[in-house]
Amino acid sequence: MNIAGVVILYHPDIEQLSDNIQTYLNGLKQLYVYDNSESKTPGLEEALLKLHPSIQYHYFNANEGIAKRLNQAIAQATLNQYDFLLTMDQDSSFKDGDFDKYKLSIQSSGDSNVAQFGVNCQPDFTQPKEQPEEALTLITSGSILNVSLAKHVGSFNEDLFIDFVDAEFSYRVIQNGYTNLMFSNIVLNHALGTLVEGRGLGNFKKTLRITHAPIRVYYIIRNGLYLLFKAKGLTGTMKNDVIRCIKIIKNDLIYNPELLAVYKNLFLGISAFLMNRMGKK
């Protein structure tokens, strides 16, 4: 495959990042590393060059969101005439051999209408199957974009900044007559949030709950409301999916150790939506 990749950083742990990158680096012809951190991580650029001298590290001295970096990566891949682009988060990785399996699966699919391919990031909820399946949405991390078709779909929505960026793009893939194809038998190691112990309101048993940084609550509620009430052409199924995604903050409203900050960001996010204030908070 004529494939490049991009990994988007935000104050990364160098050792963990290096380990993660090595699970897919050899399967790429080029890797772009886009750093959204407000300050440089000492030794990061040197560590990346040790992994492979062809890695292109770009530091922007500002966090301008994931959507803008994805659009920049697509433009760079187009300029360098790559057909496909792998998009990764800094905390995501593949199991040994899975990235090669992923590429072979794409080549074997024979479907020229697929704008983006994806893998299984939630094996506890998505039962692995041998045959690929069309998906309503794919998460950014672990997705492989068909560069030429992605350009027909349009740019990632930079007004969203972070949350729902991948979902909104996935909806437009379908609206434009293309397909999101998922290989559920390939599992991505991916962190979806921070686990905290919380007692259930019904049975009072303690279980682990996924929570988020309070700022994420702001983007989830604001962007979710935007998609529900202002985005064009969303089907009922897509809107139900948005509601499902908004509901992930319910654990934050009960179990997050920073409850005051969570509720502050919740109300600020709702206010921002009502005032049509998009982009970075």
Q: Which pLDDT score is estimated for 201?
A: 56
Across the range 3-14, mean pLDDT stands at 97
- Residue 92, classified by CB atoms within 10 Å of its CB into exposed (0-12), middle (13-18) or buried (19+), is buried
Strands 3-9 and 84-89, sheet pairing: parallel
How confident is the model over 96-153, as pLDDT tens digits? 999 999 999 999 998 889 999 999 988 877 788 989 999 999 999 999 999 999 999 9
Comparing C-alpha atoms, which of 79, 239, 51 is closest to residue 147? 79
Across the range 183-195, mean pLDDT stands at 81
Q: Do 26 and 141 fall into the same domain? A: yes
Write down which residue in 161, 189, 217 finishes a domain: 189
For residue 175, give its domain range. 3-189
Does residue 280 lie within any of the structural domains?
A: no
CA atoms within a 13 Å half-sphere pointing along the CA-CB vector of 222:
29
Write down which residue in 171, 189, 207 finishes a domain: 189
Across the range 260-279, mean pLDDT stands at 98
CA distance 270 to 218: 8
CA distance 180 to 136: 7
Question: Per the structure block, which two tokens stand in for 182?
Answer: 């998922």
Whole-structure pTM value: 0.94
Comparing C-alpha atoms, which of 175, 185, 58, 164 is closest to residue 117? 185
Q: Do 36 and 74 fall into the same domain? A: yes
Residues with Cβ within 8 Å of 64's Cβ and at least 6 positions away in sequence, in order, are 36, 280
